[in-house]
Amino acid sequence: MRTKTDHFLFSRLSIQQRLPLLICTLLLASVIIYGFANYYSLKKATLIIGKERLNSFVVELASSLGTSAQSIIKIVNTTAAQKTVVECLKSDGKKFRKETIDALDKLHRDSTWVLVELLNKNLVPIIRSDKSTVNLKVNIKDLISYTKVGPDSSKVGKIYNIKGLVYHPVITAVTNQKHIIGYIVSWISIHETPKSMEQFYQLVGITADIYIENTDGSLWTNLIDPLSKSPFKIKKTNELIEFTNTDGRWMIARAQYIPHTYWLVVVAFSEQNMLNGVNSFVKWIVLIGIVLMAIGILAAWVMSRNITKPLNQLMAAAMAIAQGNYSSPVPIDEFKYDELGKLANAFNIMISEIYLAHHELENKVEERTAQLENVNKELEAFSYSVSHDLRTPLRAISGYSIMLKEDYEAELGTEGKRIIHNIITNAKMMGQLIDDLLSFSRLGKKELVRTQIDMQLLAKNVVNELLQSGPEDKYNFNIDLLPPIKADQVMIKQVLLNLVNNAIKYSSKKTDPKIVIGSIEKETKTIYYVKDNGAGFDMAYANKLFGVFQRLHSQEEFEGSGVGLALVKRIIEKHKGEIWAEGIENEGATFYFSLPKT
Amino acid sequence: MNDKIEILLVEDNQHDAELTIRSLRKVNLANKLVHLKDGAEALDFIFAKGAFAGRQIENKPKVILLDIKMPKVDGIEVLRQIKSNDITKTIPVVIMTSSKEEQDIITSYNLGVNSYVVKPVDFEGFAKAVAELGFYWLMINELPE
């Protein structure tokens, strides 16, 4: 249903509107497809580059951390190899004590070095050089055992969480003639501030999360705080791990062993950060798409206007022709070389052809109308002469017959009187016939004068008029309530006169003649009827009732000219009404006529 | 000819004329009747010229019964000339014709006809109409002296 409506709406648009819409849709589709294709390939490439970058960054970071661990080891080794330190240990801290303290103090290269201790063979601290009051209670034996520190060497230990801060030890063996005689244990804190991390990221040009982890997984740090729980699980080094961070970001990460330590370094890139460039590319594509579409719609609009302009001119010319104006051909100069120009040209040729045909037709119609008018005039002249020329001799026949009857009645005898009587009645009938025919033919020329007719009153007047001119008292008239109607009063009176007169005539042989004038109201018309219980007629001949000179009864039975009902029919048809009759032989007839209400 | 004329009948049809005269005679109104057979004769009579040159133009009939369809000069022309002359225009003119032509009725009344009658085709009706006409114009109607 919905698609149907949409289609309907689209089809209601003009070509001038449809074309830009179509082009706009095409542009939109291509921008979307192009944008998506590029977005995905770019995203893929960016991710590949990002991963490679992550790899190299992790490797580099691990190696540089390893290098820095090595340099620390080197420094501590140098201190441990000093003669004063060896001598001090040999004398259990009695000799060269002051020099040894100086050497240990010198190891505090910066504030991250919190404590340096000199332990004897039994791991008892002999000298302590601390820069903070922090109490580092770490099992040194354990430290020696997992680092397996040998003579003349140092090891960097695991990271430890001590009171919420991360520290790592560096343990160095003090050696005398290839025998370990004691240890230097240095504690260095790993505690960067968020700000320093940021500076670091800016320096390397990467936004990443960096973690350091003990290889046995016992502790994590993000270089700022210790983390009791790992942000993700590392299955294997040298392999990319993808995971969702606690804050919902999608990350890729890689772990790498740091040489000379027990640490892993883990670097995680947020995919979103990597795709920042891609996203801004999409933004640009959308922007370019919008600009393209705007330009496209504008161009399409101009173009479609150029196409539809001649079409509109064609349309205007066609409309002008529809209104009968042939004098405005389509201008074709502007676009005479294209298809539309050819169409306009063909159209103009067609117009001139139509104009010629139309002109010819008009001439023919005029000619025919003139012929018809002539025939009509002849007919009128004919009816005039019929009425004049036939009536005069007829009046003479009628007049002389009466004169004969009046002046010579005595000499005529019975048979002569009968004959003269027949001449007189026939002449009278012929006169009536001529009068009826004339009024019938005149009706064609007459214009309708419509007024509001009080049908009730008109029917009463007609009945009274007819009753005055003679029928016996035996008639029982019943006039129902008749609604008024707008029609020609003179003609409708003629209709009622003829119908009621017929009703009187054809029921004259009944002993109890009844005539009803009634009506039936319909939505757009009113039906009036005149009903009698007289001679009626056979419905088989109902179609002959309204023809001129058509009679269903003999002259002896009921006299009449055979024009009355034809006249009635002509009047009703002139009013755009209908007339019909129902009848049963010897039981009566009903004549209906309908008149439109407007 | 100097006798007072009461009715001037202008009718080309001999039979119609006879019927008219008989109808008038029956009611005793045909004593001072002149019958003329066409329009030219009628104009000569009314304006006292030609064959009627000796007649007094002031001796006007009480009514002229005029047919329309006549040879030479038709009834409409006769009517026009009567009604456009100051002396004759007071004479009542009744057009009596066989055909009811709307145009003839309008023209006649525009020219100042006093009555327009369509002759009934049956003689009984005709006789009655003629008698009533004669009775009205001769007995009831008053004319200026």
Which residues of B fall within a CB distance of 8 Å from A427?
122-123
| DSSP class of B12 | S
- pLDDT for res B90: 92
Q: Is the dihedral of CA A83, A85, A89, A94 positive or negative?
A: positive
The pLDDT of residue B118 is above 50: yes
Please report whether residue B144 resides in a domain. Answer: no
Question: Predicted confidence band at B78 (pLDDT cuts at 50, 70, 90)?
Answer: very high
Q: CATH 1.10.287 occupies which residues in chain A?
A: 329-445
- pLDDT for res A40: 87
**Integer angstrom CA distances of residue A433 from A126, A395, A440, A458, A557:** 165, 13, 10, 26, 17
Asked if residue B141 lies in contact with residue B105, where contact means CB atoms within 8 angstroms, the answer is no
Question: Within an 8 Å CB–CB cutoff, is residue A331 touching chain B?
Answer: no
- Is B99's CB within 8 Å of A387's CB? yes
Asked if residue A589 lies in contact with residue A532, where contact means CB atoms within 8 angstroms, the answer is yes
Question: Within an 8 Å CB–CB cutoff, is residue A449 touching chain B?
Answer: no
Which residues of A fall within a CB distance of 8 Å from B16?
392, 395-396
Q: How far apart are CA A300 and CA A294, in angstroms?
A: 10
Question: Within an 8 Å CB–CB cutoff, is residue B120 touching chain A?
Answer: yes
Q: Parallel, antiparallel, or unpaired: how do β-strands B93-97 and B63-66 relate? A: parallel
Q: Is the dihedral of CA B80, B81, B85, B88 positive or negative?
A: negative
- A2: enclosing H helix or E strand: helix A2-12
Which residues of A fall within a CB distance of 8 Å from B97?
388
- A86: enclosing H helix or E strand: helix A83-90
- pLDDT for res B108: 94
Question: Within an 8 Å CB–CB cutoff, is residue A387 touching chain B?
Answer: yes
Asked if residue A169 lies in contact with residue A191, where contact means CB atoms within 8 angstroms, the answer is no
Question: Within an 8 Å CB–CB cutoff, is residue A471 touching chain B?
Answer: no
Q: What is the DSSP string of B110-123?
A: HHT-SEEEEPPSSH
Judged by CB atoms within 8 Å, which residues 82-101 of B form the interface with A?
A: 97-101
Which residues of A fall within a CB distance of 8 Å from B127?
399, 402
CB pairs under 8 A between A and B: 62
Asked if residue A184 lies in contact with residue A76, where contact means CB atoms within 8 angstroms, the answer is yes
**Integer angstrom CA distances of residue A195 from A198, A201, A215, A416, A499:** 5, 10, 27, 155, 119
Across the interface, which of A387, A388, A431 has its CB nearest the CB of B122?
A431
- Is A387's CB within 8 Å of B98's CB? yes
Across the interface, which of A388, A399, A402 has its CB nearest the CB of B98?
A388
Across the interface, which of B99, B122, B127 has its CB nearest the CB of A384?
B99
Domain count, chain B: 1
Report the SS3 class of residue A386. helix
Buried b (16+ CB within 10 A) or exposed e, B64-89: bbbbbbbeebbbbbbbbbbbeeeebe
Nearest Cα neighbor of A334 from A301, A307, A315 is A307
C-alpha distance from B121 to closest chain A C-alpha (Å):
5
- Tell me the CATH architecture of domain A446-596: 2-Layer Sandwich (3.30)
Radius of gyration of chain B (CA): 14
- pLDDT for res A106: 85
Question: Within an 8 Å CB–CB cutoff, is residue B75 touching chain A?
Answer: no
The CATH code of the domain that includes B43 is 3.40.50.2300
C-alpha distance from A572 to closest chain B C-alpha (Å):
23
Residue with tokens 């070389």: A337
Q: CATH 3.30.565.10 occupies which residues in chain A?
A: 446-596
- Is B123's CB within 8 Å of A395's CB? yes
- Is A392's CB within 8 Å of B15's CB? yes
Question: Within an 8 Å CB–CB cutoff, is residue A384 touching chain B?
Answer: yes
C-alpha distance from A422 to closest chain B C-alpha (Å):
14
Which residues of B fall within a CB distance of 8 Å from A393?
15
What residue in B sits closest to A400 (Cα-Cα)?
A: B19
C-alpha distance from A469 to closest chain B C-alpha (Å):
14
Asked if residue A41 lies in contact with residue A275, where contact means CB atoms within 8 angstroms, the answer is no
* CATH class of the domain whose range is A329-445: mainly alpha
Give bridge partners of residue A264 from the DSSP assignment: A213, A257
Please report whether residue B101 resides in a domain. Answer: yes
Across the interface, which of A384, A394, A402 has its CB nearest the CB of B121?
A394
Which residues of A fall within a CB distance of 8 Å from B15?
392-393, 395-396, 399-400
| Cα end-to-end distance, chain A, whole Å | 42
Q: How far apart are CA A504 and CA A259, in angstroms?
A: 139
| DSSP class of A554 | -
Q: CATH 3.30.450.20 occupies which residues in chain A?
A: 81-190
Q: How far apart are CA B127 and CA A494, in angstroms?
A: 26
What residue in B sits closest to A402 (Cα-Cα)?
A: B123
CATH code 3.90.550.10 for A81-190: no
Question: Within an 8 Å CB–CB cutoff, is residue A38 touching chain B?
Answer: no
Per-residue pLDDT of chain A (598 residues; tens, 9 = 90+): 444 455 556 777 777 777 778 888 888 888 888 888 888 898 888 888 888 888 888 888 889 989 988 998 998 898 888 888 888 888 888 888 888 888 888 888 777 888 888 888 888 888 888 877 667 777 888 888 888 888 888 889 888 888 888 889 999 999 988 889 999 988 888 888 888 888 887 877 777 888 888 888 788 888 888 887 776 666 566 677 777 777 777 888 888 888 888 888 888 888 877 888 788 888 888 888 888 888 888 888 888 877 777 778 778 877 887 787 777 677 766 666 777 778 878 888 888 888 889 889 999 999 999 999 888 778 777 776 776 678 888 889 989 999 999 899 888 888 999 999 989 888 888 888 888 777 777 777 778 888 999 999 999 999 988 888 766 678 888 898 999 999 999 899 999 999 998 898 888 888 888 999 999 999 899 999 999 998 888 888 887 888 776 777 776 677 777 778 888 998 998 899 999 999 898 889 999 999 998 7
Across the interface, which of A391, A400, A403 has its CB nearest the CB of B121?
A391
Across the interface, which of A395, A434, A438 has its CB nearest the CB of B126?
A395
Nearest Cα neighbor of B69 from B39, B25, B106 is B39
Q: How far apart are CA A550 and CA A545, in angstroms?
A: 6
Asked if residue A10 lies in contact with residue A18, where contact means CB atoms within 8 angstroms, the answer is yes
Question: Within an 8 Å CB–CB cutoff, is residue B69 touching chain A?
Answer: yes
Instruction: List the alpha helices (DSSP H) in A323-390.
Output: 339-385
Q: Parallel, antiparallel, or unpaired: how do β-strands A263-270 and A209-214 relate? A: antiparallel
**Integer angstrom CA distances of residue B108 from A236, A438, B100:** 133, 21, 12
Please report whether residue B69 resides in a domain. Answer: yes
Residue A198, amino acid:
E
ipTM score:
0.81
Joined together, the tokens standing for residue B77 give 């022309």
Which residues of A fall within a CB distance of 8 Å from B13?
392, 396
Count CB-CB contacts under 10 A for residue A143: 19
For A410, residues 6+ apart whose C-beta sits below 8 A from its C-beta are none
What residue in A sits closest to B123 (Cα-Cα)?
A: A399
Q: How far apart are CA A405 and CA A382, in angstroms?
A: 34
Judged by CB atoms within 8 Å, which residues 5-64 of B form the interface with A?
A: 13, 15-16, 18-19, 22
Question: Within an 8 Å CB–CB cutoff, is residue A406 touching chain B?
Answer: no
For A563, residues 6+ apart whose C-beta sits below 8 A from its C-beta are A433, A436, A437, A440, A548, A549
Across the interface, which of B19, B98, B101 has its CB nearest the CB of A391?
B98
- Is A401's CB within 8 Å of B123's CB? yes
What range does the domain containing B130 cover? 7-136
- pLDDT for res A2: 46
Nearest Cα neighbor of A575 from A521, A519, A526, A520 is A526
Question: Within an 8 Å CB–CB cutoff, is residue A393 touching chain B?
Answer: yes
Question: Predicted confidence band at B2 (pLDDT cuts at 50, 70, 90)?
Answer: very low
Question: Predicted confidence band at B76 (pLDDT cuts at 50, 70, 90)?
Answer: very high
**Integer angstrom CA distances of residue A518 from A24, A60, A532:** 72, 118, 11
